[in-house]
Amino acid sequence: MKPVVVAYKTLPEDLRQRLDTHFAVTEFEGLSEENCKKYAQVLQKAQGIIGSGGKFDKQQLNLLPSLKVASTISAGYDQFDVEEMSARGIALMHTPDALTETVADLMMALVLSTARRVVDLAERTKAGKWRDSVDPSWYGIDVHHKTLGIIGMGRIGMALAQRAHGGFSMPVLYNARHRHEQAEQRFNAGYRDVDSLLAESDFVCITLPLNEQTHHLIGRDQLAKMKPSAILINAGRGPVVDEEALIDALKNHRIHAAGLDVFEHEPLPADSALLRLPNVVALPHVGSATHETRYDMAATAVENLITALTGKVERNCVNPQVIQ
Ligand SMILES: NC(=O)C1=CN([C@@H]2O[C@H](COP(=O)(O)OP(=O)(O)OC[C@H]3O[C@@H](n4cnc5c(N)ncnc54)[C@H](OP(=O)(O)O)[C@@H]3O)[C@@H](O)[C@H]2O)C=CC1
Ligand SMILES: O=CC(=O)O
């Protein structure tokens, strides 16, 4: 009998067929309370699950007593209680490499759109307000040759540094838990503690995972250390930044602008003050949202699930000790 697998996200047809050759697959969209009730029996039997979103705490894991492998279609895995999964012998697989370049592209888009006011000016133009040659109220600020600070010099941080250094002649600063020799050699990146990076950067770009150490790493005190002309970009996870403190800093022009792909609560509530601030570009968590990359992520997650349930795992496992 084939192992039971639940796909809690609709997969491209060819990938679904690939899963079908190995497993008895039940597919539905999202782990809502209603779906968890409706599919309770199959969830009980599932040895593998694949999808994105959701929250895998103890309560959710209790609905999955046969689970051996969870394959998330994402790089981040803060939605999973990894410690609890490891204690239960459940392997967690993720898709980091598939999206690195695409997320770095989006971060550059946020850098450019906040500094050059791309969204604001495009809206003014569409509204028929371009009647004469533009005056300084339409001007943005330069990106090239400005200092770009990266907090979190992992895969995405490196890809962003490459763009900033090679494409825009920007001096690069970075912070991470460790020194990254490659970043220093390839991009002439300078290591700084967080406070110095905040004080020296024209763009502060966050590419951090969410964990106990990074939650609200950027709060009121840290925002106060940034230059008033500086721009904050966050494509890591929303709760890394204290959103109330950020709103205050933006309202009071203690920093110049923010480009945000991630938020403390997603979807961002329609009444969020962030949506009413002219110096904010807010995107709906679309760092990896291109047709090519979303397909590659799903394909990677499918292979991750197959190798973890049927063969040897060589990469993309968050808690490899579980399968060794
Ligand atoms: N907006 C979007 O759509 C997307 C967002 N993401 C987010 O981006 C995050 C990063 O992805 P990726 O680059 O692949 O991950 P990596 O694991 O490659 O990089 C993470 C970096 O964060 C650093 N870091 C972790 N904890 C701390 C800390 N407490 N203080 C300082 N630095 C720390 C690590 O430091 P060190 O190198 O020293 O270990 C590392 O440099 C993901 O976890 C996810 O949350 C990912 C994909 C899409
Ligand atoms: O935020 C997206 C991810 O892949 O992580």
25 and 162 part of one domain: no
pLDDT in tens, 255-280: 999 999 999 999 999 999 999 999 99
| CA-only gyration radius of the chain, Å | 22
170 and 245 part of one domain: yes
Cα–Cα dist 145/162, whole Å? 14
pLDDT for residue 246? 98
The DSSP code sequence of 148-171 is EEEE--SHHHHHHHHIIIIIH---
117 and 245 part of one domain: yes
114 and 190 part of one domain: yes
pLDDT for residue 156? 98
Active-site pick, 163, 165, 237, 256: 237
Do residues 149 and 175 make contact, with C-beta atoms less than 8 angstroms apart?
Answer: yes
pLDDT for residue 67? 98
pLDDT for residue 323? 85
Cα–Cα dist 258/282, whole Å? 8
114 and 186 part of one domain: yes
Domain coverage including residue 114: 99-282
Which residues, in sequence order, are bridge partners of residue 274? none
- The set of residues, in sequence order, having a beta carbon less than 8 Å from that of 198 and lying 6+ positions away, is 149, 204, 222, 223, 225, 226
pLDDT for residue 270? 97
Distances in Å between the Cα of 46 and the Cα atoms of 20, 93, 305, 324 are 14, 16, 12, 21
pLDDT for residue 91? 97
Distance in Å, CA 76 to ligand 2 centroid: 5
189 CB within 6 A, ligand 2 = no
- Give per-10-residue mean pLDDT for the chain (324 aa): 97 98 97 97 98 96 98 98 98 98 99 98 97 95 98 98 98 98 98 98 99 98 98 98 98 98 98 97 98 98 96 91 86
pTM of whole model > 0.95?
yes
133 and 41 part of one domain: no
Do residues 263 and 237 make contact, with C-beta atoms less than 8 angstroms apart?
Answer: no
54 and 159 part of one domain: no
Residue 241 DSSP one-character state:
B
Q: Can you say whether the dihedral through the CA atoms of 216, 221, 222, 228 is positive or negative?
A: positive
Cα–Cα dist 72/304, whole Å? 9
Among candidate residues 99, 93, 100, the one with its CA nearest the CA of residue 306:
93
183 CB within 6 A, ligand 2 = no
131 and 278 part of one domain: yes
226 and 317 part of one domain: no
Token pair for 171: 């001096």
288 CB within 6 A, ligand 2 = yes
For the CA of 74, the nearest atom of ligand 2: 4
Cβ-count burial 161-194 (b if 16+ within 10 Å, e if not)? bbbbbeebebbbbbbbeeebeebeeebebbbbee
Active-site pick, 266, 276, 292, 315: 266
Active site residue 315: no
Domain count of the chain? Answer: 2
Here the ipTM equals 0.99
90 CB within 6 A, ligand 1 = no
User: Residue 230 belongs to a domain with what CATH number?
Assistant: 3.40.50.720
pLDDT for residue 7? 98
135 and 260 part of one domain: yes
Cα–Cα dist 269/11, whole Å? 28
Distances in Å between the Cα of 195 and the Cα atoms of 28, 106, 263, 293 are 46, 25, 22, 34
- The set of residues, in sequence order, having a beta carbon less than 8 Å from that of 113 and lying 6+ positions away, is 119, 259, 281
Neighbours of 307 (CB within 10 A): 19
76 CB within 6 A, ligand 2 = yes
Distance in Å, CA 242 to ligand 2 centroid: 19
Active site residue 237: yes
Question: Could you tell which of 72, 192, 208, 216 is best to mutate to test the pocket of ligand 1, judged by most ligand atoms within 8 Å of the CB?
Answer: 208
Do residues 300 and 100 make contact, with C-beta atoms less than 8 angstroms apart?
Answer: no
Distance in Å, CA 77 to ligand 2 centroid: 8
- Amino acid in the structure at residue 174: Y
124 and 93 part of one domain: no
208 and 276 part of one domain: yes
